A and B are shown apart, each in its own frame.
Chain A
Amino acid sequence: MNAAVKSLGLSLPGFVLFAALGLSLADGSGWAGVALALAAVVLGWFTIRGLAAHFSAQRWARLGAPILLGLLIIVLWEVTVRALAVPFVILPPPSAIAVKMSTSLPTLWADLVQTVVKGALSGYVLGCGAAFLTAIAIDRSPFLQRGLLPVGNFVAALPIIGTAPILVMWFGFDWQSKAAVVVAMVFFPMLVNTVAGLAETTAMQRDLMHTYAASYRQTLFKLRLPAAMPFVFNGLKISSTLALIGAIVAEFFGSPTVGMGFRISTSVGQLALDMVWAEIVVAAIVGSAFYGSLAIIEKGVTFWHPSQRG
């Protein structure tokens, strides 16, 4: 404990001090400012090492270490950009991005609704739902399954995002075409996972259902669908990332004058990089929140699975 206090007691205040010095003196200080930031980074890294060496079992340390690393990077980024006066069009400092985010909240919100709620979410629900139902529909035909699984695996590895220009041509510039791209992107990963999940029960378990004289439907609902849930959630989680990528990239091929992909491509054109970064921060937050909420639901649904019992 004493060693822990000694190492953290020196490195943490040192990090805070140097970070504060660096941030306050940053503007135009040249390499001296960068040196201050680097000193702060080194001390911060010592803090993380101290946390890892002495508190790795603690919950707060497990949470604190990645946050500290994020802080290190932000301090280094902010101070370096301001100290060396890096042109704004190459890399805006984090503070400018934060200011931009707070001043353009209505725009960001409108883009979020257009791209995420209308484009990505509707496509995600349609695509995942269709894939799930298809998997159940072909469940009774081993012949179709044997054919569809390799084809599905193959298609899941293809650059489906390339269908975006075609679908934009078919469904117009608005959110419908984005939803279509998302459907095309999430369908096969979801299908493959669900089919694999439905095949997950053991012969013993199916025999037990047989001795109960359970019908196909009963076996499906009471045994095989629950057993498939870890796979289904795996597919849902993979699809959540794909859905956002699909909706954003499809907007590069044509969109109404609102939407995250539209804003990114036009802001890049105007060299308004703070706006681009602001959209990326929003996309990151939405993506993590989407994935995180799926993980929470998964925890509730598949509480019996070994991976959840920890």
Chain B
Amino acid sequence: MRRNILSILTVVAAIVGLWYAACIPMNMHEATQRAQRAGVEVTPATASERLQMGGIALALKNPTLWRGSFGQDRPRLPSPDQVVTELWNTTGAMALSGRAMSKRSLVFHGWITLSATLLGFVFGTGLGIILAVGIVHSRAMDMSVMPWAIASQTIPILALAPMIIVVLNSIGLQGLIPKAIISAYLSFFPVVVGMVKGLRAPGMMQLDLMRTYNATRGQTLWKLRLPASMPYLFASLKIGISASLIGAIVGELPTGAVRGLGARMLTGSYYGQTIQIWSALFAAAILAAILVGTIGLIQRRILKRMGMQP
């Protein structure tokens, strides 16, 4: 375990190092521009000549100006510390000063996205489990619905998102519900496929035992199939919740929504606020990590109590 942590830290440190290094050529054009305005000598001397050059070549010609690549207002690539500072300023610092729910706070935007994610996730998972139970118990459903459920995994269903938003908007539904529907829809299929596998996990011997007990189908479902499906359920819940989050974020894009993490990315890209995009991206990543981690924790506890995991 200790060795693992050391290697993970090495990899993360390497990524952060690469990121800092990449900032120099990415932001070099702007840095030379500023240095020239401040009266520093820059090679080559005219802006049009510099535009012809790549960022790396420009950085190599002006090694003294590397510092100027960091700390710009609208860098092409913000440095990690700028992103972390912005994240802290829009979350922790605002929460400490009691403005956690202000419109500039990422806590507020994260909550908007999270509520749609969770609502959609609950709907999608519930429907998915019900459909999986139906598929396992009815051969007709198995033969007709299951191929569609599998095929649906291969098509880019996220492309439907703008249409769902606009159509629901035209019948008067706005805000949370349309995003939740997209989320539900994305988390639905992984759950169906995983649960069908899980409900079929009990072996012939175990099913035969239930028969010798004269168990009804309902009893077999509650006492054998559902408990046996738990590991599969949690595996697909983890996929489902990150799919839900993606659905909620993408659901915010097409309407030009003003609230939510996706909206932050969109407004950031309209106004060239790169730091804002990056901090929204990291907020989304942290949110995803927390959600998947929470499900992992619940999984560990439940499987432990059920005696399925040491």
B4: contacting residue among A146, A162, A169, CB under 8 A: A146
The tally of residues in B whose CB lies under 8 Å from a CB in A reads: 60
Give the contact stretch, choosing among B32-40, B122-130, B166-174, B210-218: B166-174
- B265 to A162, Cβ gap below 8 A? yes
The tally of residues in A whose CB lies under 8 Å from a CB in B reads: 66
Chain A residues closer than 8 Å to B261, beta-carbon distance: 162
- A240 to B153: give the CA distance in the assembly, Å: 11
Contact A265/B162 with A147-B9, A162-B281, A288-B154 known, Cβ cut-off 8 Å = yes
Contact A252/B154 with A51-B143, A159-B249, A166-B277 known, Cβ cut-off 8 Å = no
Shortest beta-carbon distance from A251 to chain B in Å: 10
- A283 to B250: give the CA distance in the assembly, Å: 17
Shortest beta-carbon distance from B78 to chain A in Å: 10
CB proximity to B under 8 Å, residues A60-117: 61-62, 65-66, 68-70, 87, 89-91
CB proximity to B under 8 Å, residues A241-272: 241, 244-245, 248-249, 252-254, 260-261, 264-265, 268-269, 271
- A249 to B250, Cβ gap below 8 A? yes
- B7 to A143, Cβ gap below 8 A? yes
Shortest beta-carbon distance from A173 to chain B in Å: 12
- A249 to B158, Cβ gap below 8 A? yes
- B269 to A169, Cβ gap below 8 A? yes
- B143 to A151, Cβ gap below 8 A? no
The residue in chain A whose Cβ has the minimal distance to the Cβ of B268 is A165
Contact A69/B156 with A147-B10, A159-B242 known, Cβ cut-off 8 Å = no
- A119 to B103: give the CA distance in the assembly, Å: 36
Most chain B CB neighbours (cut-off 10 Å) among A159, A268, A292: A159
- B4 to A283, Cβ gap below 8 A? no
Chain A residues closer than 8 Å to B166, beta-carbon distance: 268-269, 271
- B285 to A159, Cβ gap below 8 A? yes
Chain B residues closer than 8 Å to A147, beta-carbon distance: 4, 6-12
Q: Is A17 an interface residue (CB 8 A)?
A: no
Q: Is B142 an interface residue (CB 8 A)?
A: yes
- A119 to B48: give the CA distance in the assembly, Å: 30
For the residues of B in contact with A, the DSSP-based class is: helix
The residue in chain A whose Cβ has the minimal distance to the Cβ of B238 is A157
Q: Is B288 an interface residue (CB 8 A)?
A: yes
The residue in chain B whose Cβ has the minimal distance to the Cβ of A154 is B289
Shortest beta-carbon distance from B247 to chain A in Å: 10
- A90 to B171: give the CA distance in the assembly, Å: 8
- B163 to A276, Cβ gap below 8 A? yes
- B162 to A159, Cβ gap below 8 A? no
Shortest beta-carbon distance from B157 to chain A in Å: 8
B162: contacting residue among A146, A241, A264, CB under 8 A: A264
- B254 to A268, Cβ gap below 8 A? yes
Chain B residues closer than 8 Å to A159, beta-carbon distance: 242, 245-246, 249, 281, 284-285, 288
Would you mind naming 5 contact pairs between A and B with Cβ atoms under 8 Å apart? A148-B11, A162-B280, A166-B281, A276-B162, A280-B163
Interface residues, chain A, with chain B CB atoms under 8 Å away: 45, 48-49, 51-53, 56, 61-62, 65-66, 68-70, 87, 89-91, 143-148, 150-151, 154, 157-159, 161-163, 165-166, 168-170, 240-241, 244-245, 248-249, 252-254, 260-261, 264-265, 268-269, 271, 273, 276-277, 279-280, 283-284, 287-288, 290-292
